[in-house]
Amino acid sequence: MHIYPVTQEGGLNHVKLLAREDDVIIDNLKQLLCHTLSDFIEDLVKDIRWLDETPLPQYFNKLDKFTKDRRTHELIYLLGEANQVLTTDISLEELIGETEDYVARLCLQTTEPQNAIPDVVIWMISGNKRIASCRIPASSLMFSETSRCRGKMCGKFQTIFLTVSNIKEYTGVLMNAHLQPPGVEKLEDLVDQKGGAQVRLLLWLGLEQFQSEWAKEAMGGNVAVYAETYENQAFFVKWGTMRLTRPDWSDAKGKAKQPKEAFVVPDGWKWDGDWFINPELSIAFEADEGLNEWQEDIYENQIRAPFSSWTNDPTKSYWSDVRGDKLIAQENEKEAKELTRDDIQPPEGWRWVGNWQVDKNRACDKEGWEYSIEPGSSGYTPIERNVHLCRHRRWVITRLRLTDPKALEKKMEKRKKAIEEGWEYARLANLPYHLTEHSLDLARRRRWHRKMVAMNEEKPAVFYFEGEKKASTCEKCYHHKYQLRAYLYQARDMYSADKTGLSDPYCVLGFGRYSARSRVVKESVCPTWDQTILIDQIKLFGDPTTIRESPPKILLNFFDKDTIGKAGFIGKVVCEPVVRFSTKDPAPRLDWYPIDRYTKTEGECLAAFELLLDEGGDLPFQPPTAPPPDRHFIVPSGIRPILQKTRIEVLCWGVRDMKRFQLLPVESPYVELECGGTVVQTKHIQKVSRNPNFPDPVVTFDVLLPKEQLHAPPLNIRIVEKRAFGRASMVGTHIIKSVKAFFVEPNAVQQHNKILAMVVKSMTPQLQQTQETQSIGGKEASPVKYVEDITNAPIAADPDASKGSGFDWWTKYYYSIGDDQRTLEEYVNQGHDRMVVYSHELEEAFNNFTDLVQNFPLFRGKGSRDPNDPEGQVVGLFKGSVKVYPLPDDGSPMPDRIFSHIPSSAPVECVARVYIVKGIALQPQDPDGKSDPYIKIKIGKNTINDKENFIANNLDPLFGKMFEIPITLPTDHTLTVTVMDYDYTSADDLIGTTSIDLENRYLSHHRALCGIPQSYCKQGSNKWRDSALPKEILKEYCLSMNLGEPQWESSTDVVVDRTIYTLKQFEGDNSERAPHLDTDGSTEEGKKSRVHPDLGADDQRLALHILRERKLVPEHIETRTLYNPLQPGISQGKLHMWVDIFPKTGANIPPPIDISPRKPEKYYLRIVVWNTKDVLLDEVSVATGEAMSDIYVKGWLRGQDETQKTDTHFRSLDGEGNFNWRFVYKFDYLAAEKVVVIKKKEHFYSLDKSETHLPPVLTMQVWDNDLFSPDDFIGTLDLNLLAMAEPARDASVCSVDQLPELGKPDVKLVNLFEQKRLKGWWPVFTEEEGVRELTGKLELEMEVVTEEEHNLKPAGKARDEPNLNPKLDPPNRPATSFLWFTSPWKTFKHIIWKHYKMWIIGAVLVLFLVIFIVIFIYTAPSTIMQTIVQGILPG
């Protein structure tokens, strides 16, 4: 299944074409596009129903079934989306975008994942070489009995361009298959190939069983099969078969013998008539066929004897063609005359243009000669040698075709006679054949055909003869005559083919086998041809209705005419003509066609094309001709645009950053403007290095421009350098493609004059002193530090000016960016100011400050004119502005000129202050994924390098830097801020850079010098920082806008522009609400500002409120994106920054704002670990079997490497531990941001310390000490010193319920920095699966002190000296607390004797008894024997 959204895509293209017109109604276009979408929905419903109802064939596999289901689901999803879009009110642009998305998604569904049929490949063959090819998907040509499953190109006429591109386009009914030579990888390698040939054909691919359908699909002709054979003859005295090197009757190559009688008719076919001569029609057409202009050439030949010189006598030369055949005229049967150059006459129907000239644009010597050893040889060389005995040179002349019907008819009769004979001639049988017989031709042949017709259309047309197959299929079609009219009006922004940045363009039109050429326009990339190209007697085969539905393509090739060398390729246009059968059909309209040069679009062409059926009907009148000497047809009325008198005003302000031209700097340029054939110029600049602005910058001229702005011509801006000896060289060009974007309504002229008057008035104080720009030098300048505190006089006079609010600038910054964690509630509650933080450059919010001047890039040399191309030809900038408006033609008064009030162009000295706040997401440059960024500032010749203050290992650095630089506008117009990466051992890396045009900001009426704050404050962090007070700015603004001077009734009431303003309207009755800031910097309507002590006088505040309504630049922070030239277009990070500009003339310059980063203060956290209770007994004594733990406590501050721990309370049998141990932690704390500043090296090999901001979190843990195994974890406690759980006074009430947890809003929290000291019990716990389990209680005393307090009341760690504040005595632990192997006696007393006393006593008694028995047994026998002996033996 193949789904082709042709209808919907065609309707979409029609809507997009109509949207370009000036008088189009958007609602009508939306209605038209919605109608197309409705048709699209109906088609989707039919497709979905057809997919559901159609049974799956038996041969479908799992992939086929899955593909069908996927397509069905996608169609259903598209159906739902399309229905939703139709019921939603969206803009035309969004509707077009949605429709384009539907078309793209439908095209994705057409891809067949398992297509087994190979693609169709069309080869272009020259000789035996394949020189070009075209690949066409078989799915596009496949025939199917079901029409919705048929390939969209099956049986449709197609136009194939034999050009040098590999892009395949499948649009509409025609397919443009561009042929690319095999082996070509880069399209640029084919720059010299001028493809223009076309093949119009009908393709059909299907099974053999559907062969009969092919005959039905073949439109405009009948399918026939012909038997083909060639009759061959050779010339030997006369033409015959003697000395013939090939068979008398053969195939086209002369290899196979094919006599007429050898052909056998295949089954199902029969002969239709006898054999007849049917010559190849292609050789009947000469090389100039279809061309209106041709270059004729002949060769002058000379021969010399060895060791002789060449003759200069032209009568000794003979003339020949390119093959070396002498030009001979046969006067009669016996005599022939050699022709000379002057004897040659143009063919019938042609005339000569100019005279014969030697062609030196080739490989030859300076006189055009080429040398060879023998005549007729192809080995000619431009270098003469002694062995060369012949030479020739080429003479050329141009001839034009005459539109003479009699001459054309005579030529056609002559050609018809040659075709009837049918002979083709060649020098040898294996060489190319031609129609006209030459004197050296030795072989000739003619082609014979015999027609076969089908008796059974299902039988294949394959016949046999003598064991071999031969068949020839052709299509005999009926042709119709047409006339093509190409209305070539103009082009714009074409490719620059010459080094001057211009071209000499002309157009070559190709239409089938017909071609024509336009005239050459000298030195222009926006040429105006105003030419009509006519091609008569065009024969097209097929039904005219089919031609109208799918007309042949027109190919326009644009070239640059060069005096020496080949014409350079500029681009091409592929388009379709409008087919008209009569003059009643609608005529074509001029439209812009993109000019494609390889893979890029290089300009546009305004043209129209029509194809007129020329078969006896009335054709439109012939177009009028241009006056002599051109005499070409011009675009007729009705096609050409309707012109009206229009005024163009150009403000040529100046040039910037001009590159050298011919090794010399550009110092004295002037501007040359061209539009609609009118050329004007300005006065030249005296010296660019002193003042790059033009002395009289306004240029006004009246031209005739089209009423329809779609056809508006381009405006060419050329910068011409005036040099010594009256020389003038063009050093840069810019082309405004269309002045349509600069059209203004006449009633808007007066309003624009008011704006310009405001700009002039605002700049008057600064331009009273005209000074020349002084060179500062190319060396790096150190940062300009503010030495003298220049305070605004009116503000300094306030007696409360010295009082401050205690808030620094960073408080205001964090409040402005919405950082609630770092924003002070006191600042918000008091209603202080808030800045506008733009998420983009300031220029995006104010239309790039182009209300007075714009920047136009200047180009020079060959190449495209893309200002974003890093390899482009940008050589500078032109600053100016263009206004175009129609002039009345009914006698009404002329409108006022727009640029009637412009500021002075004299240089102005200023002070620029660049505030760099911070970097955001910078691109890492170091191997560890970090960077060491620092700032580098460059403006003019001033350079500030802040390398010594680099920030180590940070991608979001907080710079907090202010750089003050003296500048002179307009010479120092561009500020460049660069972020570099510092490296110790190699050159520093570029992270990114951003540029700001300070001059545009200075000239803008939005007053981008210094941002207007939200309120007028006389002191504090929001102290007024402009050089002028609000009342002065308001007065200046009103006078410049012709509103009259403000009338102050009182300090709280003023009349401006006939409107009464009161302070109560803006601030109300001192409401307590803080101001709410919109994205544009204005206070939201209905919100009232709170009056705090820092506010200044009432009249100044009221003036400021009125100014804020005028949409001037507010006090702001802009976000500028950094870019690296090595990765163009890819963001390398961003900067928060802003720029203030203060002219040195006028009021005093106020002091700068201190935005230095906040410095942390040193704090000490003292923690005394007193006792623990109810600690989980984690071990069992081996000796006694009792549960016990060897308890110790350790703790640390988050982010610090230092971990402190107590000594061990051994053998705690009841979970109680006594320590009297002190932890002391030193840390850097930012009180304003409530974070701890950690500075440490991330790795041991790191060279610098990294800075990290973390919340002050203390972690305390209880552990069980093990001697021979890792210690066992018992419990932990995390305390945020800013919001920590309040301790329990007694251990009995201490539990995990006193700790904060999600879902416990009633837990009381305390801030240690406010309480200073806390003492009590906190629980330690373990957590498993979100459930906390109490594992002990910890008695702590915490105290946080500053470094000064710590020095006044010192305290040592543990119980070391100084053991003060408080003094810690050794803990009174129970006697059972000891380490067993260090105290043997205590081990015996408290462990062994206590538990095994009776066992020990019993063991001793048993031991004594055993000893007694042993002694008894040992002594008893001897005693008994002694007693017995003494009884037996007396005495």
How would residue 670 be classed by pLDDT, with cut points 50, 70 and 90? Answer: very high
| Low-confidence winner among 34-48, 205-219, 433-447, 1254-1268 (lowest mean pLDDT) | 205-219
Instruction: Give the number of residues written for the chain.
Output: 1435
Of residues 201 and 1198, more confidence is placed in 1198
For Cα atoms 698, 703, 705, give the angle at the middle one, nearest 5 degrees. 120
- Do the strands 1209-1212 and 1187-1197 form a parallel or antiparallel pair, or are they unpaired? antiparallel
Share of the chain above pLDDT 90, in %: 25
Q: Is the pLDDT of residue 488 over 60?
A: yes
Q: Which two tokens stand for residue 1316?
A: 């200073």
Of residues 86 and 849, more confidence is placed in 849
What beta strand segments (E) does 798-922 contain?
Answer: 836-837, 854-859, 874-886, 908-920
| Low-confidence winner among 192-196, 735-739, 1406-1410 (lowest mean pLDDT) | 192-196
How would residue 1261 be classed by pLDDT, with cut points 50, 70 and 90? Answer: very high
Dihedral sign, CA of 745, 746, 751, 754? positive
Predicted confidence (pLDDT) per residue in 1153-1165, tens digit: 999 998 999 999 9
What is the pLDDT averaged over residues 752-758? 49
C-alpha–C-alpha distance, residues 589 and 326, integer Å? 52
Of residues 1073 and 1413, more confidence is placed in 1413
> In terms of Cα–Cα distance, which of 498, 907, 877, 902 is closest to 689?
907
Of residues 7 and 964, more confidence is placed in 964
User: Could you give phi then psi for residue 47, rounded to 5 degrees?
Assistant: -65, -45
Name 595's Cβ contacts closer than 8 Å, sequence gap at least 6. 491, 494, 495, 558, 570, 571, 572, 573, 601, 602, 603, 604, 605
- Prior bond of 924 cis (ω within 30°): no
Task: Supply the DSSP symbol for 264.
Answer: B
Of residues 1252 and 197, more confidence is placed in 1252
What is the pLDDT averaged over residues 657-679? 89
Name 773's Cβ contacts closer than 8 Å, sequence gap at least 6. 689, 690, 691, 907, 968, 971, 972
What is the pLDDT averaged over residues 848-875? 75
Q: Is the pLDDT of residue 446 over 50?
A: yes
Alpha carbon dihedral 683, 686, 689, 695, in 10-degree steps, equals -50
Looking at residue 175, its pLDDT comes to: 34
How would residue 782 be classed by pLDDT, with cut points 50, 70 and 90? Answer: very low
| Low-confidence winner among 219-233, 817-831, 1237-1251, 1308-1322 (lowest mean pLDDT) | 219-233
- Do the strands 854-859 and 874-886 form a parallel or antiparallel pair, or are they unpaired? antiparallel
C-alpha–C-alpha distance, residues 1070 and 1093, integer Å? 12
> Long-range contacts of range 1043-1046, CB-CB < 8 Å, 24 or more positions apart?
1046/1103
Predicted confidence (pLDDT) per residue in 323-341, tens digit: 788 887 766 656 677 888 8
- Reduced to 3 states (helix: H, G, I; strand: E, B; else coil), residue 1199 is coil
Cβ–Cβ under 8 Å, residues 660 and 666:
yes
Looking at residue 1264, its pLDDT comes to: 92
Amino acid at site 553: K
Looking at residue 394, its pLDDT comes to: 93
User: Could you give phi then psi for residue 1420, rounded to 5 degrees?
Assistant: -60, -45
> In terms of Cα–Cα distance, which of 488, 521, 496, 503 is closest to 593?
488
Predicted confidence (pLDDT) per residue in 627-647, tens digit: 887 778 899 988 888 888 899
Q: Is the pLDDT of residue 665 over 60?
A: yes
Looking at residue 1381, its pLDDT comes to: 56
What is the pLDDT averaged over residues 803-818? 80
C-alpha–C-alpha distance, residues 83 and 43, integer Å? 13
Cβ–Cβ under 8 Å, residues 645 and 886:
yes
| Low-confidence winner among 143-152, 1165-1174, 1202-1211 (lowest mean pLDDT) | 143-152
Amino acid at site 876: G
What beta strand segments (E) does 1115-1246 contain?
Answer: 1116-1124, 1127-1143, 1161-1173, 1179-1180, 1187-1197, 1204-1205, 1209-1212, 1217-1230, 1235-1240
* Surface-to-core class of residue 343, CB atoms within 10 Å of its CB (0-12 exposed, 13-18 middle, 19+ buried): exposed
6's enclosing H/E stretch is helix 6-18
What is the pLDDT averaged over residues 1067-1076? 51
Cβ–Cβ under 8 Å, residues 1219 and 1170:
yes
What beta strand segments (E) does 948-1091 contain?
Answer: 958-969, 974-981, 989-997, 1047-1050, 1053-1056, 1059-1062
What is the pLDDT averaged over residues 1070-1083? 42
- Reduced to 3 states (helix: H, G, I; strand: E, B; else coil), residue 1432 is helix
Cβ–Cβ under 8 Å, residues 1056 and 1046:
yes
Predicted confidence (pLDDT) per residue in 529-587, tens digit: 889 999 888 888 778 888 888 888 898 999 998 877 788 888 999 889 999 988 888 88
Of residues 772 and 1268, more confidence is placed in 1268
> In terms of Cα–Cα distance, which of 1166, 1175, 1371, 1375 is closest to 1263?
1175
Cβ–Cβ under 8 Å, residues 1115 and 835:
yes
Predicted confidence (pLDDT) per residue in 204-219, tens digit: 888 877 877 776 665 5
How would residue 194 be classed by pLDDT, with cut points 50, 70 and 90? Answer: very low
How would residue 921 be classed by pLDDT, with cut points 50, 70 and 90? Answer: very high
C-alpha–C-alpha distance, residues 645 and 676, integer Å? 11
- Reduced to 3 states (helix: H, G, I; strand: E, B; else coil), residue 82 is helix
Looking at residue 334, its pLDDT comes to: 61
C-alpha–C-alpha distance, residues 669 and 730, integer Å? 9
Predicted confidence (pLDDT) per residue in 1356-1372, tens digit: 999 999 988 889 998 88
What is the pLDDT averaged over residues 453-468? 63
Cβ–Cβ under 8 Å, residues 1099 and 1031:
yes
Predicted confidence (pLDDT) per residue in 1095-1132, tens digit: 888 888 899 988 888 888 999 999 999 999 988 889 99
Q: Is the pLDDT of residue 59 over 60?
A: yes
- Reduced to 3 states (helix: H, G, I; strand: E, B; else coil), residue 28 is helix
Q: What is the mean pLDDT of the chain?
A: 80
C-alpha–C-alpha distance, residues 588 and 579, integer Å? 9
Amino acid at site 1068: G
C-alpha–C-alpha distance, residues 980 and 945, integer Å? 10
